[in-house]
Structure 1
Amino acid sequence: MTELHDTVAAARASESSTDAQTPPERKRAGYPRGLASLAFTEFWERFSFYGLQAVLIFYMLYAVDQGGLALDAAIASSLVGAYGGSVYLAQILGSWMGDRVLAPKWLVFWGGVVITLGHLALGFIPGYGGLAIGLGLIVLGTGALKTNITSIVGMLLEDDPSRRDAGFSYFYMAINIGATVGALATGLAQSAVGFQLAFTLASIGMVAALIQYCFAMRRLPADADVVRNPIPLRNAWRPAAVVVLVVAAIAVAWVTGVLNEANMASVTGLVIVAAAVILFVAMFSSRSVTSAEKTRLAGFVPIFIASAVFFGLLFQVFSFLPILISDDRVDLQIGDWSMPPAWVLSVGALSAVLITPVFARLWSRRDQADPNPSGKFAFGLVQLGLGHVFLLVVVMTSGSVIALLPVLVYVVVVGTSEVLVGPIGLSLATRIAPQAFRSQVVALIFLTLAAGSTLAGLLGQLYTAIGDTAYLTTISALGIGLGAVLWLFRSRIDGAVAFGLPSH
């Protein structure tokens, strides 16, 4: 076993030596060439993911004669929240595997293969069976792919901190373009033909992502092909045993009724909180983490909490709004044409795509005064809260049916707020991560998406119980209130996350 560890260590030392002799990678427009390839790969992966996301809750809510499953709105919201939370919760397993089992480069590839199989299952296996198998495979595959592709982007931008936020903003723009085009394509397919065609289109997007990634692999940095902290072979049985126990526990909970469709989002939320606590405790207690790194982690904690709440409020577009549309509360007619419901959801991603280059230029101009990470998060939260205030006013002044235009304005205001949070969180995580826990800190950012997805599902259930006015008032207060608190403490937070790092 020591021989295996020594062999891996020697290989890593050899690669480091080789890297030192390798000329710097050619760049385009000041960015590494591999960044464009990874962005295009992520475009197609997000095409498939958000193409599915746009029609998934409608698939659950629509009547059987419309091709749906006719689920109760509260149960559908719980399932979508649990699915979204599980997708990002799986990032912890994926990030751990990227550090201990398989190099990030290959986890991205095999994760893409598993996601493709999941979309095919949704497209060709009808009913509840296809839903369970398909979503399960997508959860596992996305867990392997997402944190590791983001870690590779961080490696590409490691030597150019002045362009880090801008580079991640362009990478995030590819995500939003893929999300927009995917939602438009599957939304149109569902309206014209049915849900199965929409699911099949999502699988085609994932195949395109795999093809693009195969071409991109040769341009990736050498570190992407290295397992940083390989697990000794003699201890390999331990994580395998944990996986078996977790699967068995879930099966027993489901059979006994402890876990069911109605409480799935709540249970997923508790697991996410426990996972976050365990990750933070592991890093704060590790001897491999320096005191400066622990100071930066302490500053990251309020950013983590704010990010989780932000995404919970943002993801209302995938829970509360579809319920509103499926209840015929929104007039989708524009003349003689009816807008596909999934297209309403894609407007937010489209608006974020259009505004991202503006913010990317702002972040790259370091001579201009701009807010630090917590300030950007604060602005994003307040904007999100004000978007819900606007919708609250619209709902209170409308009749039983809401016009399409103000709903689209709401989606634009809410959707563009993500530019102030999403790419900044990714950039910050890769910059402040302890050397021994790089992938795990990236996993924490995706864990905020898990918490957000689950929170959105729970809030969707809350909406079915308390109605429009109380619900939107609660969402508005959360966004504006947390944004104000973050702004008040921004200097202390930003000082902590920048402690010991070179200025940029």
Structure 2
Amino acid sequence: MTSTTPRLAAPAEDRTVPRRIWSMAFTELWERFSFYGLQGILSFYLLYSLGEGGLDLGPAASSGIVGAYGGAVYLAQLAGAWVGDRLLSPKYVVLWGGIVITCGHLALAALSGLTGLGVGLVLIILGTGALKTNITSIVGFMLDGHTDARRDAGFSYFYMAINIGAVAGPLSTGFAQNQWGFHYGFVLAAVGMFAALVQYGFSLKKLPERAGRVNNPLPKDRILAPLGYTVAAVAVIAVCSLSGLFRAENMSSVVTIAALVAAAGYFAVILSSAKVTDDEKRRVSAYLPLFLLSGVYFGFLFQKFTASSILITDRVDLEIGTWRFPSAWITAVSPLSAVLITPLVARLWGRLGERQPKPVAKFAIGLLQIGFAYFYLLAISTATGNATIPLLLILLFMVLAGSSEVYVGPIGLALATKIGPARLKAQMVGLNFLTLALGSSLSGLLGQLFAALPSAAYFAIVAGSAVVLGGALLLARKPLNRALYAGLQAE
């Protein structure tokens, strides 16, 4: 009898944990629907001519704006996490963040030209910064007291919702843009965010008690300092914008520098802290090259919103008979391929057990795969010459590049949470977010480089860089893995 009890109890617990987080999962699904729905059509809105409903800003300016926007979204999440920890309760930070995001999408839909673009993107950056990290914290509160296995199961449902939203968003807004115009796509993104707010509103009273309190309140005598820093930062940004120092073409450079400075600050705090042991410092030091290479990897991956969008606009044949294939659907293939391949790779890791590649080798595989994807793009771009590129060939590139994320994204998150110092876990999670910020802004710089170079030369540079970096990481995997697990039992 005792041998059968655990097997009977486990399924009940498996069902209980996901039910507790369904409300957050659906809220996040709709938020990601709106975010990626906008991301899927934004670059084309900037690139397309006025006659096609776009802003016709040109490749360099478009790449700069898209890269800076993506990077700023992730940088803002660091500030949002701090606000939800020190100033306001997470559940209300999420609520107000959702309201601000909705207003941003409505501004894009209702206001035309650069005014709507500027107001809309700034509001979405601020709102997403407030919402993203804090809703993840709330999920963590809901799963407090459960075993690691149950927590993993709960977060799996949560991230499944993220992936569904990331695929459904651009498919929906891309269709709306293709059929009726860009502003209808923006309206649909706003509807998605409104659905997230409604879902979240119904669950407010059911959230854990910790979600309704400030868990690490800032002393009242220290509140004026961050307010002063905020006012000063806004003033500097306003002066630089009005004086012409901040232009569309250099926005990605500014955000890239900001991401690197923030990362340097995080590493400095961790490595100089008296609360961090020697083994922990060794692990964090070994994480530094992986952090940088992860940022480079995401820079290559996020080119689906910059360089690849330019290529699609200029050279890809989207006509299928009398119907035009939505541009945004091409970029949606990338996350869709990652969603579909994840269970297969997870099953492979399960079968290999202790024989599966260690984290550094997985990072290397991701870089090598995306490098080979760009070599493939180089081949088809060269073979077609100045002619249009068949749609199917570009879709295959998106599959090759997008599916490589399974070796980098989730592995980096798991690694950061595992090797981080016991007393500074939040800082390590912050560093993981910064790889996405760095990658997003870097993709803008790469898009501008693509606009300035012949396609063949550009694809050769990107492909060669990815393969060389992946190969070097593969050669250095053993000493890096030893340092990453200093004081820990490697898994």
TM-score, normalised to structure 2, is: 0.90
**Deviation of the 1:204 alpha carbon:** 1.1
Change (3 A) 1:117 1:429: farther
**Deviation of the 1:171 alpha carbon:** 3.9
Q: Read off the aligned partner of 1:286 and give its amino acid letter.
A: S
When structure 1 is superposed on structure 2, of 425-434 and 277-286 the one drifting more is: 425-434
State which of 101, 114, 117 in structure 1 corresponds to 2:87. Answer: 101
2 CA distance for matches of 1:143 and 1:91? 4
1 CA distance for matches of 2:60 and 2:430? 29
1 CA distance for matches of 2:110 and 2:459? 38
State which of 23, 31, 42 in structure 2 corresponds to 1:45. Answer: 31
Q: Is 2:200 aligned against 1:213?
A: yes
1 CA distance for matches of 2:145 and 2:489? 12
**Deviation of the 1:186 alpha carbon:** 0.4
1 CA distance for matches of 2:176 and 2:96? 28
Name the residue aligned to 1:356.
342
Name the residue aligned to 2:435.
448
2 CA distance for matches of 1:263 and 1:443? 25
Q: Is 2:74 aligned against 1:121?
A: no
When structure 1 is superposed on structure 2, of 36-45 and 467-476 the one drifting more is: 36-45
Q: Read off the aligned partner of 1:283 and give its amino acid letter.
A: I
Q: Report if the CA contact (8 A) 2:14-2:150 is conserved.
A: no
Name the residue aligned to 1:491.
478
Q: Report if the CA contact (8 A) 2:338-2:406 is conserved.
A: yes
Q: Report if the CA contact (8 A) 2:318-2:327 is conserved.
A: yes
When structure 1 is superposed on structure 2, of 293-302 and 316-325 the one drifting more is: 293-302
Q: Is 2:450 aligned against 1:463?
A: yes
Name the residue aligned to 2:254.
267
2 CA distance for matches of 1:205 and 1:361? 33
Name the residue aligned to 1:237.
224
Cα deviation code 1:446-487 (max 9, x no counterpart): 211111111111011001111111110111122212222222
**Deviation of the 1:445 alpha carbon:** 1.4
TM-score, normalised to structure 1, is: 0.88
**Deviation of the 1:176 alpha carbon:** 2.3
State which of 49, 54, 70 in structure 2 corresponds to 1:84. Answer: 70
Cα deviation code 1:107-148 (max 9, x no counterpart): 233222211111111111222111111100111111112223
Name the residue aligned to 1:175.
162
Change (3 A) 1:427 1:166: farther
1 CA distance for matches of 2:147 and 2:345? 18
2 CA distance for matches of 1:495 and 1:219? 44
When structure 1 is superposed on structure 2, of 51-60 and 415-424 the one drifting more is: 415-424
Q: Is 2:311 aligned against 1:344?
A: no
Name the residue aligned to 2:366.
380
Q: Read off the aligned partner of 1:260 and give its amino acid letter.
A: R
2 CA distance for matches of 1:220 and 1:494? 39
**Deviation of the 1:170 alpha carbon:** 5.1
1 CA distance for matches of 2:239 and 2:226? 20
Change (3 A) 1:359 1:112: farther
2 CA distance for matches of 1:338 and 1:132? 29
SS at match of 1:259: coil
Name the residue aligned to 1:202.
189
Q: Report if the CA contact (8 A) 1:118-1:134 is conserved.
A: yes
SS at match of 2:317: coil
When structure 1 is superposed on structure 2, of 174-183 and 206-215 the one drifting more is: 206-215
2 CA distance for matches of 1:484 and 1:388? 16
Change (3 A) 1:167 1:479: farther
Change (3 A) 1:166 1:375: farther
1 CA distance for matches of 2:273 and 2:256? 26
SS at match of 1:210: helix
2 CA distance for matches of 1:151 and 1:492? 34
Cα deviation code 1:401-450 (max 9, x no counterpart): 11111111000111111122222222333333334433332222121111
Residue correspondence of structure 1 range 44-63 to structure 2 within 5 A: 44-63=30-49
Q: Report if the CA contact (8 A) 1:55-1:342 is conserved.
A: yes
Name the residue aligned to 1:19.
none
Q: Report if the CA contact (8 A) 1:78-1:265 is conserved.
A: yes
Residue correspondence of structure 1 range 318-467 to structure 2 within 5 A: 318-327=305-314, 329-363=315-349, 367=353, 369-400=355-386, 401-467=388-454
When structure 1 is superposed on structure 2, of 490-499 and 106-115 the one drifting more is: 490-499
- In the alignment, structure 1 segments of 5+ residues that lack a partner are 1-23
**Deviation of the 1:166 alpha carbon:** 6.9
Change (3 A) 1:499 1:109: farther
2 CA distance for matches of 1:423 and 1:291? 26
Q: Is 2:13 aligned against 1:27?
A: yes
Name the residue aligned to 1:8.
none
**Deviation of the 1:72 alpha carbon:** 1.5
**Deviation of the 1:162 alpha carbon:** 5.2
Aligned length: 480
Q: Read off the aligned partner of 2:175 and give its amino acid letter.
A: L
SS at match of 1:263: helix
Name the residue aligned to 2:126.
140
* Aligned residues: CA RMSD: 2.6
2 CA distance for matches of 1:438 and 1:118? 32
When structure 1 is superposed on structure 2, of 128-137 and 367-376 the one drifting more is: 367-376
Name the residue aligned to 1:3.
none
**Deviation of the 1:296 alpha carbon:** 3.0
**Deviation of the 1:247 alpha carbon:** 0.7
Name the residue aligned to 1:187.
174
Name the residue aligned to 1:307.
294
Residue correspondence of structure 1 range 11-22 to structure 2 within 5 A: none
Cα deviation code 1:362-393 (max 9, x no counterpart): 45668453223222221111111111011111
Q: Read off the aligned partner of 2:72 and give its amino acid letter.
A: S
Q: Is 2:98 aligned against 1:112?
A: yes
Change (3 A) 1:493 1:170: farther
Q: Report if the CA contact (8 A) 2:76-2:126 is conserved.
A: yes
2 CA distance for matches of 1:62 and 1:44? 27
Cα deviation code 1:33-79 (max 9, x no counterpart): 44444333222111101100111111111111221111111111111
**Deviation of the 1:396 alpha carbon:** 1.0
- State percent identity of aligned pairs: 51
